[in-house]
Structure 1
Amino acid sequence: MPDRPSSDTGITLHRYPLLASINSPADLRALPEHLLPSVVNELRGFLVDTVSQTGGHLAAGLGVVELTVGLHYVFDTPEDRLVWDVGHQAYPHKILTGRRDRMLSLRQKDGLSGFPKRCESDYDCFGVGHSSTSISAALGMALAAKQQGEQRDAVAVIGDGALSAGMAFEALNHAGSMDIDLVVILNDNEMSISPPVGAITNHLARLLSGKIYTTMREGSKTALRGMPQLRHLVGRWEEHMKGMLMPSTLFEELGFNYIGPIDGHDVHSVIKTLRNIKEMRGQRFLHVVTQKGHGYEPAEGQPVTYHGVTPFDRRTGELRKGASKGPTYTQIFGSWLCDTAEADPRLVGITPAMCEGSGLTVFSKRFPERFFDVGIAEQHAVTLAAGMACEGVKPVVAIYSSFLQRAYDQLIHDVCLQGLDVTFAVDRGGLVGADGATHAGSFDLSFGRPLPKLVIMAPAHENECRAMLRTAYEYPGPAMVRYPRGNGPGVAIDPETPALPIGRGEIVRQGSRVALLAFGSMVTPASKAAEPLDATVANMRFVKPLDGPLIRALAEGHDLLVTVEENSVAGGAGSGVAEWLAAEGIDIPCVHLGLPDRYIDHAEHAQQLAACGLDAEGIRASVRDAYGLRFPDRDLLEVANAGSAVGARVRHQSAGAA
């Protein structure tokens, strides 16, 4: 085997001779089964090698290596449809489906996505990134195959965490009533619903999926068709016998033939069971027990830490961290939450399965009786908070922007309509870098702005984030603080910073001619763009309610207003400014800068902002172009004598509003 590197990597493939020969699942299926344990070992090693350099999701993928090999070995992918839930576990799938040599481009600009993506490969039959969609999607594919008269399997692989979401059970309930061919595989990687796994359970699983048992099962249905009472008795006997040995009753009641649990790290057992299942028809449910991080000791010992990782030392597992840039917005929230809970016993923290990601780890340990992780159930999280608020409790819902999308009806109907006192700490507002479009918080300002009674804030820096959290908590109604991923510009935090006056912004730089109305994370690049333009910069702070007096003063004192936000332009904060101006009958040219009407692919955050024209250079270029187009006879950089007087009036009105 030549010592050749993967095309965009320094990783040589001489240590992975079998993996180097697999360019598609067809190549995998051509290998004799006795070589598959070696394939598994090589695949696991290659996965650790690549992710140690790129960072990304690791522990979940390590846990499904045997299952991934088995699925592509037994099923005729991509003709048989394979749908991965969430996608964190799909890196081994990518390696086996022709993308091995591009793995070091993972999550980078113009590189592989960190999630299955339909436009990336025919083997990615459904794009994912959010949880609990796999069964619904696979059921849709199975029903489409039946309608088109085609014989193929649809397979959904779902983790036990994802199975906690209502959508998964809605799909199971629907699927159980249909006459279709569907396979659902539960990747139980926490052993939360599993009995001990060993030879007996593996034997039972193979038995229950084998031809003898299934032939007897289907044959008895035919033989007893004319004897309904006896058929019912035999059916109940079968159910109770299986229920004594395994957690099958729920799935059997939903209409699935339950098989398992099996050891997901015994590749031969996995393949034997999958072969038996492929020979069966109808709705089949396979329960596979795996270990997150399996085969790599650091990830086995710390599966949460190694769920999503930065680049790390492959030998020691030590994560490589960059220079400290101060606390992240997530950490600022976590610190504020603990401090506030110490002072107010009414406070409770709620999160939908994002304790670590949303900064609640310390709070959960210090106040365990006031911490509620509801699992992957965003709708329930919001309505749970509403119910608590009805009884005088002060709930704080910590949730990613893109996950709040999944609870939009509950936000409208259960919280805002009733004007309930719920604080929403909305993390990952705006673009999120390597996770890409599936996790970007591109729309929260747009979908939150129309909701009556909801106050929406976006901090420009660290200290303002803390002040806004306090403002939201003290406001006697629904309020949202929307902050970005990662670090702020480096402003020191004063824990005693008071709450802000609702609906009031501030001038952070006085200029002339052009006023930049910046929201949240865009205040810093707008301020940098303003210097060579001598533009005024307003930190608007509130998306709802807007600071009307400040907008009026800026309109009266400038030729052009430019709104800047890290949110979709459509319906966003800039739209709110335009609506306010129109309602007040104020006629002034406006330019609205924000995220364009397309999904932004994964890349470094700075690269994403530059691609959208939201870095300082892009904002500056847009302002110059807009000013030159509207005022071709004026020099933007020429400061008129009236500029100072105008600036004084703007400063005076802004100070009065505050």
Structure 2
Amino acid sequence: MPERVLDVGIAEQLALDTAAGLSAGGRLPLVALYATFLNRAHDQLLLDLALHGEDVTITLDRAGITGDDGPSHHGIWDLALAAQVPGLSLWAPRDGARLDAAVPAALGTPGPSIVRFPKGACPEELPALAQLPAGDVLHGDAEAPIDVLLVSVGALADRALAAAREIAASRPAANVVVLDPVRALPLGEELLDLAAGARGVLTLEDGLAERGIGAALALRLGRRATPAQPGPVVHCLGVDLEFLAHGKRDAILADQGLDVPGIVTSLDALL
């Protein structure tokens, strides 16, 4: 039914269960939600979609820090929730071109999928310097020894790139590699292999730092570590575990250390 739209209002649980039923009946539904309101339907995402491997694609707009909408509307929980769901695929495109590619990729991937993107205009396109199995390299030399691997998830990639360039200007000998994993979940073995070979790893996401993609990556790297090979130091940049007050997006990002100066400070700490 490519021309049909079902509007369930603000009944997000019903939206996902309806999509699960459509998928079970052989359809390929797409559900559009505000990122923050995926919280209401986490049970349906986990036990009605993921448990049964239903082919449902969810697009989440207003992902991350939204600014003026207030504490209830910041889309900062979706990455943390998604990282706990077995079999889920998630894309957090860094720019409009990657968003265009992510939606059909999600629709073509078996099982539940999420594509998340922030409020506002698309950022300037950020082409890849190299495309690896681990993701797109935006800065640095992934073939040389890596001092810090900066894993940038989502639309803060422009800030990650600006911070890496600032570090390159002040520390020209340091090899800071900025990597967009493209598909952030599930975590690929290629990404883990690349991260395990770096001296330090810094993850960046506009979601909860304690429970998101970076935390999942740190856990997986920790499981690989041994006393003889302890692995890289991992720092996770993200949003503090608190309710964020009303405010301008850029001001909140700066307060959370997610702007360019904050990312530079975190890179300096690892270098």
* TM-score, normalised relative to structure 1: 0.37
Separation in 1 of the partners of 2:149 and 2:164?
9
Match of 1:381 in 2: 15
> What is the DSSP-based 3-state SS (H/G/I as helix, E as strand, rest coil) of the residue aligned with 2:6?
strand
Amino acid paired to 1:544? L
Match of 1:538 in 2: 179
Q: Cα distance, 1:548 vs. partner? A: 2.4
Match of 1:616 in 2: 260
Match of 1:459 in 2: 93
Is 1:506 the counterpart of 2:136? The answer is: yes
Match of 2:150 in 1: 516
Match of 1:141 in 2: none
Separation in 2 of the partners of 1:402 and 1:554?
30
Amino acid paired to 1:605? R
> What is the DSSP-based 3-state SS (H/G/I as helix, E as strand, rest coil) of the residue aligned with 1:373?
coil
The alignment covers a number of residue pairs equal to: 253
Conserved 8 A contact 2:30-2:56: yes
Is 1:526 the counterpart of 2:160? The answer is: yes
Q: How does 1:222-241 map to 2 (within 5 A)?
A: none
Is 1:400 the counterpart of 2:34? The answer is: yes
Conserved 8 A contact 2:65-2:249: yes
Match of 1:605 in 2: 249
What's the C-alpha RMSD, in Å, of the aligned pairs? 2.0
Separation in 2 of the partners of 1:504 and 1:397?
28
> What is the DSSP-based 3-state SS (H/G/I as helix, E as strand, rest coil) of the residue aligned with 2:264?
helix
Q: How does 1:348-387 map to 2 (within 5 A)?
A: 367=3, 370-387=4-21
Conserved 8 A contact 1:609-1:615: yes
Separation in 2 of the partners of 1:504 and 1:477?
21
Match of 1:473 in 2: 107
Q: Cα distance, 1:487 vs. partner? A: 1.6
Amino acid paired to 1:572? G
Q: Cα distance, 1:492 vs. partner? A: 9.2
Separation in 2 of the partners of 1:373 and 1:504?
38
Match of 1:596 in 2: 240
Is 1:412 the counterpart of 2:42? The answer is: no
Separation in 2 of the partners of 1:450 and 1:408?
10
Is 1:551 the counterpart of 2:192? The answer is: yes
Separation in 2 of the partners of 1:490 and 1:623?
23
Q: Which has the higher helix share?
A: 1
Amino acid paired to 1:509? H
Separation in 1 of the partners of 2:164 and 2:6?
44
1:484 counterpart (118, 122, 139):
118
Describe the superposition over 1:113-162 as per-residue Cα deviations: whole angstroms up to 9, x where unpaired.
xxxxxxxxxxxxxxxxxxxxxxxxxxxxxxxxxxxxxxxxxxxxxxxxxx
- Inter-CA distance 408–456: structure 2 relative to 1 (3 Å threshold): same
Describe the superposition over 1:49-94 as per-residue Cα deviations: whole angstroms up to 9, x where unpaired.
xxxxxxxxxxxxxxxxxxxxxxxxxxxxxxxxxxxxxxxxxxxxxx
Separation in 2 of the partners of 1:604 and 1:584?
40
Describe the superposition over 1:419-449 as per-residue Cα deviations: whole angstroms up to 9, x where unpaired.
0010000111100010021101111111111
Describe the superposition over 1:573-628 as per-residue Cα deviations: whole angstroms up to 9, x where unpaired.
1111111212222521111110012111111111110110101111101221x23x
Conserved 8 A contact 1:445-1:543: no
1:567 counterpart (199, 203, 207):
207
Q: Cα distance, 1:504 vs. partner? A: 4.3
Q: Cα distance, 1:372 vs. partner? A: 0.8
Q: Which has the higher strand share?
A: 2
> What is the DSSP-based 3-state SS (H/G/I as helix, E as strand, rest coil) of the residue aligned with 1:415?
helix
Conserved 8 A contact 2:123-2:155: no
Separation in 2 of the partners of 1:524 and 1:547?
23
* TM-score, normalised relative to structure 2: 0.88
Conserved 8 A contact 1:382-1:397: yes
Q: Cα distance, 1:382 vs. partner? A: 0.7
Match of 2:224 in 1: 584
Describe the superposition over 1:442-471 as per-residue Cα deviations: whole angstroms up to 9, x where unpaired.
111111111112111110111101111111
Describe the superposition over 1:377-426 as per-residue Cα deviations: whole angstroms up to 9, x where unpaired.
11111101111111111110000111111111111111111100100001
Larger radius of gyration: 1
Conserved 8 A contact 1:401-1:426: yes
Describe the superposition over 1:552-577 as per-residue Cα deviations: whole angstroms up to 9, x where unpaired.
22432x32111111000111011111
Amino acid paired to 2:136? E
Q: Cα distance, 1:542 vs. partner? A: 2.4
Separation in 2 of the partners of 1:607 and 1:468?
29
Amino acid paired to 1:563? T
Separation in 1 of the partners of 2:147 and 2:167?
9
Describe the superposition over 1:295-320 as per-residue Cα deviations: whole angstroms up to 9, x where unpaired.
xxxxxxxxxxxxxxxxxxxxxxxxxx
Is 1:437 the counterpart of 2:71? The answer is: yes
Amino acid paired to 2:153? F
Separation in 2 of the partners of 1:578 and 1:492?
26
- Inter-CA distance 544–595: structure 2 relative to 1 (3 Å threshold): same
Separation in 2 of the partners of 1:443 and 1:484?
13
> What is the DSSP-based 3-state SS (H/G/I as helix, E as strand, rest coil) of the residue aligned with 1:407?
helix
Separation in 1 of the partners of 2:95 and 2:217?
22
